Chains A and B, each alone.
Chain A
Amino acid sequence: MDAQLVYIGLAAAFGLFMAWGIGANDVANAMATSVGSKALTIKQAILVAAIFEFAGAVLAGGEVTSTIRKGIVDADLLIGMDDGPRLLIYGMLAALLAAGTWLLIASRNGWPVSTTHSIVGAIVGFAAVGIGVDAVQWGKVGTIVMSWVVSPVTSGFIAYLIYRSVQKLILSQDDPLAKAKRYVPVYIFLAAFTITLVTILKGLSHVGLTISVRDSYILAIAIAVAIALLGSFFISRIEADPKAEKKQHFVTVERVFGILMVVTACGMAFAHGSNDVANAIGPLAAVVSIATSGEIGAKAALPIWVLALGGGGIVIGLATFGRHVIATVGKKITQLTPSRGFAAELAAATTIVIASGTGIPISTTHTLVGAVLGVGMARGIEAIDLRVVARILVSWVVTIPAGAVLAIIFFFLFKTVLP
């Protein structure tokens, strides 16, 4: 049997494993915010995630996939080597298996880890030790690691600004409900506009569509207005419940924000798909491309089945395991009411989509945590446990060497065992 087929088969299996892990954990985190604030039921959340993860991966996931595939390992160096293609295949297989395994170990033990950090650590690990320190594009890796610091901070800052504006325009007013009905459609427009625009500007070229910048803006505005109008329709149907209002003045206001949160939940799933699906399919795409063409750096389009496998794996992970995670997390984050949850989600989704457009793999969960802290800074969250935030920082640092070490072990294993 062809070695080619073995490679592709293994890569597909490991990629599916990784995608499953992402769906079970990462996506669940992204969707739990909406479930926790009761904007969506678990079933609806899974449906939204399935559709928009897939759309995000296909429409806007190209840049990050290409970074994972060929941005970290220096292909030029490998082209000059006799067994270069083979080494890269072993390495990508090892990276996938290492990141997947580490995710499994970590979630078993309840350690908060990021899929992005695992896979980048794993790729850097096999390249630096298995091939040579020069095989890593350190400049690019440096940019990625910097972005892991910058992205939570940025999304925290955006979340702070958004939530402050919500407080100022709506929550601190005499008639918050009337104000919410007036301003929430504007937020819906902003959310839809940002995500659509970045997708059109950065993503669509990967599916073979080219639209001029001017047309992109017009199209984004048109889509966003349509979504905002649809949102306004649903908002206009919300009526105050005086009995519930008496107990808690913001009940109906929060229901208005609930509509907004459905939109940001879609945005969040889309953003996640555009960034994190690449963690599973980037290495897979690399293996497929080398195995079929026999050389590194062949100009080949991403086969559609690779994308489908990534998207499918995530949906399976979400449906099998992720729903429990959504349920547990959702129950625990009731403090994140729609008015706060939307601010966090919109900030995180915007940050992630921009990163996806630039081809930088970042951690969805960390970005979301940063956004939640941002809302907290605006005095929006009742209580945040700083010990847990510190623990997240630690796991942030530990995950990279852990992914790297596992990848190195698997790399040498594959080098001996595989043809």
Chain B
Amino acid sequence: MANMLANIFGSSPVRPLEKHIDVAFRCAKKLRPFVAAAIEKDHKRMAEVRGQIEALEHEADNMKKEIRLHMPKSLFMPVPREDLLELLLVQDKIANRTKDVSGVIMGRKMTIPEPIAEKFLEFVDSNIDAAKQARKSVRELDELFTAGFRGAEVDLVTELIEELDQIETKTDEQQTKIRSALFEIEKTLDPIDAIFLYEVIALTGEIADMAERVGRRLELLLSH
């Protein structure tokens, strides 16, 4: 039986958005064991982790579609629907980039040269940190809605986003260092492998970029 009181509540996108970034983060986190396996040339382990990454990316994708489906234009929300959809999109890209990185490494059977291996692993970790911080920020979404996007909760989220920006800046610095380290040894590598190593570094850095964009989107919500 339809009931007018019950039905005036549309399905809230808030919890689903929080769940979505959780999956996206868990996907990004898998990059650490994947890259570690690549450094050790453990192909079996690589394939295994790659499978997990794909599954998580797929899950995030399905959640994204589901959330969109439940956000018709007739919803009246405290923040513009478009901003929430944009937030969802950049959240999803965290998982997408993770899949891209692992895809390139896997597809080209790449190995990470020993001289840059340690730096690269640290770089991956920082990118995962950025994704984690993005998750922490998005998890405040329901509190933001409760507080009506006002007061102490806004300050809290602003702080979280500032921390996120700092992590992203750190990944940028690491990226520059890795590039110059790679430049030092690139003559010793197969040229095509070298080109793709640059590509992998750039793609990995985009995880933190996307995390930072999650922060930007949240900031937009705060400014309404």
Q: How many A residues are at the interface, by size bracket?
A: 35 or more
What sequence of 0s and 1s flags, for each residue 43-81 of chain B, a beta carbon within 8 Å of any chain A beta carbon? Answer: 000000000000000000000000000011011111000
A173 at interface by CB-CB < 8 Å: yes
Which B residues are CB-close (under 8 A) to A168? 150
A379 to B77 Cα, complex, angstroms: 7
Cβ of A10 under 8 Å from chain B: no
**A384–B75 CA distance with the chains assembled, in angstroms:** 5
Interface assignment of B147: CB less than 8 Å from any CB of chain A: yes
A329 at the interface (CB under 8 A from B): yes
**Segment 193-214 of B: residues with Cβ below 8 Å from A:** none
In the complex, what's the smallest C-beta–C-beta distance from A230 to chain B, in angstroms? 27
Residues in chain A near residue B14, CB distance under 8 A: 382
Residues on the B chain within 8 Å of A167, using CB: 147-148, 150-151
Tell me the chain A residues, 386-405 only, with Cβ under 8 Å from chain B. 386-389, 391-392, 395
In the assembled complex, B186 has its CB within 8 A of some CB on chain A: no
Interchain CB contact under 8 A, A385 and B13:
no
Q: Confirm or deny: B183 has a beta carbon within 8 angstroms of a beta carbon on chain A.
A: no
When chains A and B are docked, how far (Å) is the Cα of A262 from the Cα of B1? 27
Residues A328 and B6 in contact in the complex (CB < 8 Å), given A172-B148, A174-B152, A249-B143: yes
| Contact of A369 with B148 in the complex, beta carbons under 8 Å | no
Q: Give the contacting residue for B75; candidates A173, A329, A385, A392; CB below 8 A.
A: A385
Q: Are A386 and B146 in contact (CB under 8 A)?
A: no
A286 to B196, CA, bound (A): 89
Compute how far the CA of A387 lies from the CA of B76 in the bound complex, rounded to whole angstroms.
Answer: 10
A residues in contact with B12, CB < 8 Å: 335, 382-383
How many A-B pairs fall under 8 Å by CB?
A: 127
Contact B142 A383 (CB under 8 A): no
The smallest beta-carbon distance between A347 and chain B, in angstroms, is: 14
Q: Is the CB of A250 within 8 A of B146?
A: yes
| Chief secondary structure at chain B's binding surface | loop
Contact A335/B150 with A379-B78, A382-B14, A386-B74 known, Cβ cut-off 8 Å: no
A302 at the interface (CB under 8 A from B): no
B76 pairs with A171, CB closer than 8 A: no
Determine if A29 and B3 form an interchain contact, defined as CB atoms under 8 angstroms apart. yes
Residues 1-42 of chain B, each 1 if its beta carbon lies under 8 Å from chain A, else 0? 111111111111110000000000000000000000000000
A335, B9: Cβ atoms closer than 8 Å: yes
Do the beta carbons of B145 and A382 come within 8 Å of each other? yes
What is the CB-to-nearest-CB distance from A184 to chain B, in angstroms, rounded to a whole number? 15
Residue on B nearest A332 in the bound complex, by CB: B6
Which of chain A's residues have a CB closer than 8 A to the CB of B1? 107-108, 110, 325, 328
- Shortest Cβ distance from residue A124 to the other chain B in the assembled complex, whole angstroms: 23
**Minimum C-beta distance from A219 to chain B (A):** 34
Check A171 against B147 for contact (C-beta < 8 Å). Answer: yes
Closest Cβ neighbor of A389 among chain B residues:
B8
Q: Could you mark each residue 222-251 of chain A with 1 if its beta carbon is under 8 Å from any beta carbon of chain B, else 0?
A: 000000000000000000000000001110
- What residue of chain B has the Cβ atom nearest to residue A392's Cβ? B4
Cβ of A365 < 8 Å from any Cβ of B?
Answer: yes
A284 to chain B, nearest CB (A): 27
B125 within 8 Å of A (CB atoms): no
A171 vs B150: C-alpha distance in the bound complex, in angstroms?
8
Cβ of B150 and Cβ of A329 under 8 Å apart? no
A376 within 8 A of B: yes
- Return B211 CB to nearest CB of chain A, in Å: 21
- Say yes or no: B8 contacts A369, CB within 8 Å: yes
CA distance A329 to B11 in the complex (A): 14
Known A-B contacts A333-B9, A368-B5, A384-B9; the reply to A339 vs B74 at CB < 8 A is: no
Whose C-beta in chain A lies nearest to the C-beta of B143?
A: A249
Please state if B5 and A32 are interface contacts (CB–CB under 8 Å).
yes
The answer, among B8, B143, B145, B147, for a CB contact under 8 Å with A385, is B8
Is B149 on the interface with A (CB-CB < 8 A)? Answer: yes
Task: Name the residue among A168, A176, A369, A384 with the largest chain B CB count within 10 angstroms.
Answer: A384
Instruction: Say how far A248's CB is from chain B's closest CB, in angstroms.
Output: 7
Residue of A nearest to B5 (CB): A29
**Residue in A249, A384, A391 whose CB lies within 8 Å of B10:** A384
- Digit string of A89-133 for contact with B (CB within 8 Å is 1, else 0)? 000000000000000000110111000000000000000000000
A167 CA / B143 CA spacing, docked (Å): 12
A335 contact set on B, CB distance < 8 A = 9, 12
Q: Does B163 contact A (CB under 8 A)?
A: no
Partner of B6 from A32, A173, A249 at Cβ < 8 Å: A32
- A386 proximity list for chain B (CB < 8 A): 74-76
* Closest chain A residue, CB of each to CB of B150: A172
Measured CA separation A397–B192 after assembly (Å): 73
How many angstroms from the CA of A112 to the CA of B76 in the assembled complex? 20
Please tell me if A48 contacts chain B, counting CB pairs below 8 Å.
Answer: no
> How far is the CB of A146 from the nearest CB of chain B, in Å?
21
A365 engages B4 (CB within 8 Å): yes
Between-chain CB contacts (< 8 Å), 23 pairs: A32-B6, A107-B1, A108-B1, A112-B7, A171-B151, A172-B147, A172-B148, A172-B151, A173-B151, A176-B152, A249-B143, A325-B3, A328-B1, A337-B146, A365-B4, A372-B5, A379-B78, A383-B10, A383-B11, A383-B13, A385-B9, A391-B4, A395-B4
Given contacts A385-B9, A386-B76, 8 further A-B contacts (CB under 8 A): A168-B150, A332-B7, A365-B4, A383-B12, A385-B8, A387-B74, A388-B4, A395-B4
Residues on B lying within 8 angstroms of A by beta carbon are 1-14, 71-72, 74-78, 142-143, 145-154
